[in-house]
Amino acid sequence: MMIRFDIVLRRDMRRAHLLWMKNIMMTTLGAKIPRHGTHHTAA
């Protein structure tokens, strides 16, 4: 039981980590890309 639970928990942690990484990438790209209404800033 404990081993099976540990495997499931580890898999869930990996999925959460991937989602976290995707969120970081999207936020960083979102902060760099949109220039709506603002002048062209140094990239």
Report pLDDT for 37.
59
- Give SS3 for 39: coil
Encode pLDDT of 12-36 as tens digits: 999 999 999 999 988 888 877 666 6
Is residue 15 within 8 A of residue 23, CB to CB? The reply is no
Report pLDDT for 14.
92
pLDDT at residue 5 tops 70:
yes
- pTM equals 0.49
Is residue 41 within 8 A of residue 35, CB to CB? The reply is yes
Residues 6+ apart with CB under 8 A from 43: 32
